[in-house]
Structure formats: C-alpha cells, structure tokens
Amino acid sequence: MATPQELHSLPAHGLRVSSAGQREAITWQVPEEVAVGLAYNKRPHVVMMATPADLEDFAYGFSLTEGLVQDIADVTDLERLDVPEGVQLSLTVREGALTKRINDKRGIEGRSGCGLCGISTLTAAMRPVQEVSSLRAIPAASAIMAAYRALPEFQPMNRANRTVHAAALCDIDGNILLCREDVGRHNALDKLIGAALRADLLVQDCFVAMSSRCSYELVAKCAAAGIRTLATISAPTALALNSAHAAGMTLAACAGGSDVAIFSPGEALQLAAAG
C-alpha cells in the first residue's frame, strides 16, 4: 500500500460539525501543491502550480501541448532541482527546435485551475487548434463507459484525498493503459501525454478519459498530441465544441448512468446507449 508521501498527501486536522451541532475532531488527507518552474535552454518560461508527482512527464507533455517543441525527441536533457520554493525543471532543447511560442510572454504564474494563466495576449491564448487525422477510429459508447467504470482503480491519490483530477489514456475498447493525477486538470493531461510519448505509446490510436469538465484548453492539448477523442464528465463549452469540430475531434460526456453524449464533427448530438 502506498504511503501518504508517495501519494503526495498531507494530514490536515480539523473539526466536523453536524447539522445538529455535534462536533468531532477529524484528520483529512489533502493534496500537495507546489510551484513548478520550467526553463528552456536556461531561459525561464513559466511557473505552474502542480502536484509534485510525475513532473518529468509533465515537462515533456507541457512542452508538446503548449507548442514549444514539435517533437519531444528535441528535448535532449531534463534536470530537476528541488528547492525550498518548489521544483525547478530545466530542459535543454536542440538548437533551432524551440518554436516562436517560447517568446509568448507569461507575466504571472500558471495557477493549478487554469490553463491560460500568464499568457499576455489574446492571440497567444487563442491559437488555432491543430487538425487531427480522420483515419483514427472513434470509440463506441460502451468503451467510454467501460473506461469510466475502471477509472477509480487508477486514482490512488484521489482515493486518499478526494481532490485531484485524473487523465487516462485508453485503447479503443476502453482499457486504461496509463493514468496521471494532479490538482490541475490541464496538468494531469500534460503528465499523461508526456508519459505516453516517453513510453512510445501510439496515442493516436487511443482516446482520453478525464474526471473533469471539458474546456477549450483540453481540446487544444489533445489535438496537439493527435488524440481524436476526448471524454469528460460534463458537456463541453461552446468554444471547446467548435474547436474540436474544426480539428476533426470527437468529444464525449459521461456523467454517469447508462448514456454517453457524443459530439462528432458535422453530426447532431447523439445519445448512445452503453449497451
């Protein structure tokens, strides 16, 4: 069994008060959250707030999904330095491989709940979503439901603290291949994509299931990795849906029960029985 340290959870002592006024001392496990700085070729780029687990995966995934590199093979070295203020991740990128997005100014830290914090212009924030190949298969509703039924078993941190988000990479039948957790949904997805690419998994043949709502930034990150289908626990925002359709992506919402809402480009909303 994993220890609280391995689950990046810390004890918090409090008081439970019932509606009848009864009081009881309690100890809850709460997730760690630290400042994580990313620097490229010795140049600081951004500071994100994240759970201090799988940060090497995070560095690779963030670099790709934020369009800072086109291929993680261009990252030739990664150094982690734990300091009193948090964690510093220093990436060395092959000369000429850093894209112009590295110059997009980030004036403040990236908070754990936000995928756009620190971007200083609307143009930088609302970049075009990369088109995804239409040759990749779309999972059946039954596969999406299967992934969500299995997801709790892949969330050890959330079992301890009931606070963090999960992002899972699933094969076309709904079997979970990898899962990553973080207090930030964007961070969890970056960690997942980074881990999958480092393991040489063909993410284009998989779909992603997440424990969070669906927003534009999650769509953009999946599209950057070539993932055609993203499933979340609630319907997408209008911007997320329009961006997904423009990219050729399919979105699915699975909030429980026996139905999955599927949003595919050029098609009306379908309610597909899990069957």
**For residue 114, what are the contacts with CB-CB under 8 A and spacing of at least 6?**
184, 186
State the catalytic residue, choosing from 114, 117, 206, 214: 114
Residues 150-182 as b or e (16 or more Cβ within 10 Å = b) = bbeebbbbbebbebbbbbbbbbeebebbbbbbb
Residue entry with tokens 């088109």: 131
CA geometry: angle 244, 235, 51, nearest 5 deg = 85
The alpha carbon torsion through 125, 80, 36, 105 (nearest 10 deg) reads -30
The alpha carbon torsion through 211, 149, 225, 55 (nearest 10 deg) reads 60
Residues belonging to the chain: 275
Residues 149/176, Cβ–Cβ less than 8 Å: no
Shortest CA distance to 231 belongs to which of 112, 140, 133, 157? Answer: 140
Q: How far apart are CA 86 and CA 137, in angstroms?
A: 41
214 catalytic? Reply is no
Q: Give the active site residues.
A: 114
